[in-house]
Structures are given as C-alpha cells and as structure tokens.
Amino acid sequence: MTTAHRATPRTRAARPAPEVATRRADFPLLATRVHGRPLVYLDNAATSQKPQAVIDAITRYYETANANVHRGVYSLSEHATAAYEGAREKARSFLNAREAREIIFVRSTTEGINLVASSFGRTNLGPGDEVLISAMEHHSNIVPWQLICEERGATLRVIPMNQAGELLLDEYERRLTERTKIVALVHVSNSLGTINPVREVVARAHARGIPVLVDGAQAAPHMPVDVQALDCDFYTVSGHKMFGPTGIGMLYGKAPRLEAMPPYQGGGDMIRSVTFARTTFAEIPAKFEAGTPHIAGAIGLGAAIDYLSHLDWGLVAAHLEVPGVRLVGTAAHKASVISFVVAGVHAHDVGTIVDQEGVAIRTGHHCTQPVMEFFGVPATARASFAFYNTREDADALVAALAKVRQVFGG
C-alpha cells in the first residue's frame, strides 16, 4: 500500500461558505441527487456546469431573436447580428485581445488548433521543418500537427518533462532551431494540472522569430488570461469548459498572422465575391467563419463571460490528504486538477465506486495517452474543481475513496 500524499492544487474551493452557496444556487444541475445522494460534481476539466444566466441567454435568443446574422436587412436579423458581434467583443475583452477581429468563433479548442495547423501549416511547413509541442499535450494538440507534418513532410518534436510534470526549459531551448516553424503547448495540463510558464516559452520562441500557439482550454476557467501580456500568436479556448455552451469556442490570433493565413473552410459569409473563375475572401474574422455560425452558442458564451467577470479570480491553495493514493503530477505551479491512482485498484473501478457515493470524477487516459505512458500507468482517476465546489465536496471525495479502499481491502 502506498503512503499518504498531500495534494496542494491551486483552487478556489476554499471560498467563504456564504459566497459559495450563493454561486452554487446559480447552477441548476448542482441540485441533482445521484444514487440518493447530493451530487458532488468534480469533472469540471471535462465540462463545467452552466449557470442559469447562460441557459436563459440561449433560451431568450431562440424565443425572441432567432434569425441569421450579417446579411439580413430586417430588424430581427440586425438584432441577432448585434448580439453575435457583441459576444465577440466580450470575448475580445475576456482575452484582452487588441481588436475584436482577432477573435474567431470556432466549435472548440480542438477546432481552433486544427484551424491553425491546417491554415498556418499548409502555408509555412515543408520537408525538413519542425513543429515543437510538449510532452503533456492533449491529443487535440498532437494529432492535428501529426497530420499536417505527414502531409507536408515536416517533423513533430517534443519538449520533455520531469517526474513532477514540469517542462524542462533547458531541453526546450535546445530544441528551438532554424527548422522550428511553430511551438504549440498547453497553458494548463488537463491531466496533470501543471501551469506552464507560457510567457517564458513565448519569449524564448520569439527571440528566434518562431510563433507560438497556446491551448487555453483548462486555463480560461481558472485564471485571468491576457494574450497581450503572454504575447502568444494564437490562443484557443472552449466555451463548455468555462461555464458556457458546448459547440462554441474562440481562437485568438494576432491580426497579421490571421491575415497571412488562407481560409480554413469555404462557403457562405467568408467570401467577398465569387465567380466560377475566382473567389476573393472577406477580411478577418469572417474569412475563418464559413457558413451559418453557432449564433446561440456565441451568445451563450458571451453570457458565460459576463458571469465570469463578476468572480474573484484569486486562487487559494486547498489540501487533500488521502491515504493509499499516489498523485500523478506534482508540479510546483498547479491548477485545481488532481490526477491520482489508488494502490491495487483500476481507475475505472475507482470511478464506479465513488459514483455510488454521489461523486462524479473522470477516469481513463484523459486524451493524454503519452502522459500515461510516461508515468507508467494505464489510466488515472481525476478530480477537477471549479469555483462552486466546496470543502464539503472535497471531504465527500475523500470519504468515497475510503470506501474504495474498504471494498478492495486497503
């Protein structure tokens, strides 16, 4: 049996009880009971719950303003367009982009990365060139680069990490060469909770004229993001992980980078003119938003950003002591994502038993199979906290894990 470990994720779960109670009341699903017990939702890294304000904004659009955007001259369309583009301005403010046109609405972080890999990659990668990613990337920041590297004859290289789940920056520096055409890395690891030193990574790449893409899916729900301060070239997030709807996300790109890239998809709304001989394209952001967009999703995302703007972004250290549990990922700078293994118990069994206690956690490889291979485990259990989680939620997890050890004779 392994010894006890103490997890010290940076989390807001330790807020004063009255504020947490007020915030929890904003989220209808948190009142759910599971197997006769109050739901303890600790799978926020997979998807977060939605406040009533977001649900209401989506419903209000469909009930009072449902029309297509941009091309309609009637009042309903103009109202929908104003709401859609208003959400873009909210997104600009949320990420502190210089201009609203630097915000591209996409389906998700995954699509944002695929857009850059496809459009930037086809323009800038060739035989002998290299794409540099980190060892802790989600599959969404591995597979698109593998595909474009295979297509263009380029090579994918990896920044290694240590046993704590921290990038080895000296090794990163050595891998930056004249062949490196782009660096792509995660801001906060979804399986380890590591907060990467993005500003330093960007500065080292820019010293060599190399652009950087940042996967911000796990960062946006936990900390303020300032793309100008980070100075990254691209930054992408998913709405559903930051208390907004599914099927909507945003890609930030520096305007000169986006203007130099060819369209990702073709169709309506991304064109200036079309003949059978030639098509000319619209300016950004329209150039990258082919077809009818997810209007309700963008409006819902805007409502989520409004909600987040009223939160205290201070992060508090929370302690979790669980006998018989080994943490996977112990970086000095962590977000509120805790991956762990219970001695002698498969992660899926852990998840099944704690579910019977009303506790929802994630089990598996978390779309980071290379990370699991690095740490020598087939899978982990993962508890990921949001601002609406309480100390009582953490205690419920500890009690549920004690039940796991009891069932398996720990």
| pLDDT tens sequence across 235-289 | 999 999 999 999 999 999 999 999 999 999 999 889 999 999 999 999 999 999 9
In 101-232, beta strands by DSSP E:
103-106, 130-134, 155-159, 180-186, 212-215
Is the model's pLDDT at 210 over the cut of 50? yes
Is the model's pLDDT at 11 over the cut of 90? no
Tally Cβ neighbours within 10 Å of residue 6.
Answer: 11
Is residue 64 packed enough to be buried (19+ CB in 10 Å), middle (13-18) or exposed (0-12)? exposed
| CATH architecture type of domain 56-308 | 3-Layer(aba) Sandwich (3.40)
Q: Residue 382: beta bridge partners?
A: 339, 362
What is the CATH code for 5-50+314-407?
3.90.1150.10
∠ at Cα 278 (273, 281), nearest 5°?
45
Alpha helix positions (H), 288-362: 295-308, 347-356
Category of 399 on φ-ψ map: left (φ > 0), alpha (ψ -120 to 50) or beta: alpha
**pLDDT computed for residue 366 by the predictor:** 97
Question: Average pLDDT over the chain, rounded to whole?
Answer: 92
**pLDDT computed for residue 71 by the predictor:** 84
**Residues contacting residue 226 through CB under 8 Å, at least 6 positions apart:** 95, 96
**pLDDT computed for residue 319 by the predictor:** 54
Q: Residue 383: beta bridge partners?
A: 338
Q: What is the average per-residue pLDDT within 221-245?
A: 97
Is residue 71 packed enough to be buried (19+ CB in 10 Å), middle (13-18) or exposed (0-12)? exposed
pLDDT in tens, 116-168: 999 999 999 999 999 999 999 999 999 999 999 999 999 999 999 999 999 99
Q: What is the average per-residue pLDDT within 313-335?
A: 77
Domain ranges, ordered by start, for the chain: 5-50+314-407, 56-308
Q: What is the average per-residue pLDDT within 172-190?
A: 98
Is the model's pLDDT at 3 over the cut of 60? no
pTM of the complete model? 0.93
| Contact (CB, 8 A) for 180 and 128 | no
Is residue 385 packed enough to be buried (19+ CB in 10 Å), middle (13-18) or exposed (0-12)? buried
Q: What is the average per-residue pLDDT within 72-91?
A: 96
Q: Residue 6: beta bridge partners?
A: 321
Catalytically active residues are 367
- Residue 133: phi and psi, rounded to 5, are -125, 175
How much is the CA Rg of the chain, to the nearest whole Å? 22
Q: What is the average per-residue pLDDT within 343-370?
A: 97
